[in-house]
């Protein structure tokens, strides 16, 4: 951006032969940008930094206002005549551009909406300053616009009148051809085919992630609910299905917390079975352990912790320290607002859709596929683009109808 602005400033100095001209040129952009920032701070205080950064692209349009003003001023040598001749065309172009940018607020993207609002206010403020502020500043600074030497080393090419009609016919034929060919254009929403990955990069990715990105994909399962038991139940059902798929060799590289967070209903059933078993077999098992321990030379207290575990019939959940040691502490989060459990596995690309369909019927479970998410975002952009195309075309059309009727 700095390089482009520097080149623009250099061209301005060479063309107008005045060192002060870049400052006057940039004033509408500065005013429009400050106005837009102030209004955005009032209307949308939580604007995305990405929206402000992309808003810099409107500087080129804003500088066009200054180009129109100063070029016309150098030609007619009068501020009054310049304002009289460029006000309507400049405002007409500004209004249509502002309307098109404001249409971005009707998209599904918050970033695009913020960008459209910021750019629209910046353009409107710059157009106003060009017509109302620049003439005052030029007068106060006594800027000399009457002396300007035409650059001899640049001339527009002269078109031979005899080929104009042939050029028009050629353009019409090409337009008709492109009109019919446009129906064959399709929007590619498959993110996997939008970029080229060299073999070396694919091999590095396989080493880093442990999967081959060409034939395998990583799928994430997110069990979330406000109620802790509902989230645990969804996570456990997903874990049970994951085990079944592993048994049949359909998925691999699984990571799940389902074995460590058991639903209350199932936990109570298992605890009853556990207590019933030891009620029937406690004496026999403990006697057998003591007998075998004496024969093997163990002390009498060698299996005391096991005896204590049998005597304690109360279920003890896993501690956070143990989960952290096992590397599972980042796979779940539970708070008063929401409980979340995450699982993941690797599946072949050819079986990805069928495997994902098996999990979609589990309540409170979300199947997350990064490539599918990117494809959905691209599809959203496509639908937004078509909507904006019709919306902006309609606004500009009705604006020009109203303008022509006034004329």
Say how many C-beta atoms besides its own lie within 10 A of residue 326's C-beta. Answer: 12
Give the pLDDT score at 128: 92
pLDDT at 191 over 60: no
Give the pLDDT score at 68: 86
Mean pLDDT, range 366-370, rounded to an integer: 83
Angle ∠(394,398,401) on CA atoms, nearest 5: 145
Any idea which of 107-116, 153-162, 189-198 has the lowest mean pLDDT? 189-198
Give the pLDDT score at 1: 58
pLDDT at 145 over 80: no
Give the pLDDT score at 313: 64
Distance CA 318, CA 306 (A): 18
Give the pLDDT score at 380: 66
Q: How confident is the model at residue 111 (pLDDT cuts 50, 70, 90)?
A: confident
Mean pLDDT, range 254-263, rounded to an integer: 85
Any idea which of 92-101, 195-204, 272-281, 343-352 has the lowest mean pLDDT? 195-204
Any idea which of 108-122, 188-202, 254-268, 324-338 has the lowest mean pLDDT? 188-202
Mean pLDDT, range 252-258, rounded to an integer: 85
Place of tokens 């359909």: 250
Give the pLDDT score at 174: 93
Report all structural domains of the chain as residue ranges with CATH numbers, in order of start: 1-148 (1.20.1640.10)
Q: How confident is the model at residue 325 (pLDDT cuts 50, 70, 90)?
A: confident
Q: How confident is the model at residue 318 (pLDDT cuts 50, 70, 90)?
A: low
User: Which residues sit opposite 223 in a β-bridge?
Assistant: 341, 365
pLDDT at 156 over 70: no
pTM of the model: 0.55
Residues in the chain: 407
Give the pLDDT score at 332: 82
Residue-wise pLDDT for 261-296, tens only, equals 888 888 888 888 888 888 888 888 888 888 888 888
Between 40 and 385, whose confidence is greater? 40
352-359 vs 228-247: helix crossing angle, rounded to 10: 140
Distance CA 95, CA 127 (A): 9
Of 374, 350, 347, give the one whose Cα is nearest residue 218: 347
Residue-wise pLDDT for 4-28, tens only, equals 767 777 777 777 677 777 788 888 9
Residue-wise pLDDT for 222-251, tens only, equals 999 988 889 989 999 999 999 999 998 898
Give the pLDDT score at 315: 63
Distance CA 216, CA 209 (A): 11
* Alpha-helical runs (H) found in 248-263: none
What integer best gives the mean pLDDT of the chain?
80
Give the pLDDT score at 370: 74
Q: How confident is the model at residue 129 (pLDDT cuts 50, 70, 90)?
A: very high
21-43 vs 110-132: helix crossing angle, rounded to 10: 130
Percent of residues, the chain, with pLDDT higher than 90: 10
pLDDT at 45 over 70: yes
Residue-wise pLDDT for 370-404, tens only, equals 766 666 666 666 666 777 777 777 777 777 777 66
Q: Long-range pairs for 303-312 at CB < 8 Å and ≥24 separation?
A: 310/278, 310/282, 310/285, 310/286
Between 4 and 91, whose confidence is greater? 91
pLDDT at 164 over 70: yes
Give the pLDDT score at 297: 84
């Amino acid at each position: 951006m700095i390089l482009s602005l520097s080149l623009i400033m250099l061209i301005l100095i060479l063309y107008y032969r005045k060192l002060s001209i870049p400052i006057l040129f940039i004033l509408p952009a500065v005013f429009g940008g400050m106005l837009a920032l102030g209004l955005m701070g009032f209307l949308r205080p939580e604007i995305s930094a990405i929206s402000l950064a992309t808003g810099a692209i409107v500087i080129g349009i804003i500088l066009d206002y200054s180009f129109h003003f100063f070029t016309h001023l150098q030609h007619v040598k009068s501020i009054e005549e310049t304002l009289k001749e460029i006000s309507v065309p400049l405002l007409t172009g500004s209004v249509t551009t502002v309307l098109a940018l404001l249409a971005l607020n009707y998209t599904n993207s918050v970033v695009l909406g913020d960008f459209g609002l910021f750019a629209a206010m910046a353009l409107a403020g710059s157009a106003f300053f060009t017509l109302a502020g620049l003439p005052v500043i030029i007068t106060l600074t006594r800027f000399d616009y009457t002396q300007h030497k035409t650059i001899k080393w640049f001339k527009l090419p002269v078109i031979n009148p005899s080929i104009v009609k042939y050029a028009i016919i050629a353009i019409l034929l090409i337009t008709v051809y492109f009109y019919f060919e446009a129906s064959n254009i399709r929007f590619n929403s498959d993110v996997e085919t939008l970029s080229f990955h060299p073999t070396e990069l694919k091999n590095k990715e396989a080493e880093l992630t442990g999967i081959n990105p060409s034939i395998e994909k990583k799928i994430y399962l997110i069990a979330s609910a406000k109620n802790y038991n509902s989230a645990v139940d969804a996570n456990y059902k997903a874990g049970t299905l994951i085990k079944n798929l592993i048994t049949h060799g359909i998925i691999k590289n699984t990571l799940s917390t389902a074995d460590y967070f058991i639903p209350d209903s199932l936990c109570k059933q298992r605890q009853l079975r556990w207590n019933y078993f030891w009620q029937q077999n406690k004496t026999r098992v403990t006697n057998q352990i003591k007998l075998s321990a004496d024969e093997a030379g163990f002390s009498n207290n060698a299996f005391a912790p096991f005896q204590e575990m049998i005597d304690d019939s109360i279920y003890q959940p896993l501690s956070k320290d143990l989960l952290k040691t096992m590397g599972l502490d980042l796979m779940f989060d539970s708070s008063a607002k929401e409980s979340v459990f995450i699982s993941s596995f690797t599946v072949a690309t050819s079986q990805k859709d069928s495997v994902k369909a098996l999990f979609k019927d589990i309540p409170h479970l979300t199947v997350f596929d990064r490539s599918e998410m990117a494809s959905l975002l691209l599809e959203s952009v496509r639908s937004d683009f078509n909507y904006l195309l019709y919306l902006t075309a309609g606004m500009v059309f009705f604006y020009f109808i109203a303008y022509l009727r006034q004329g």
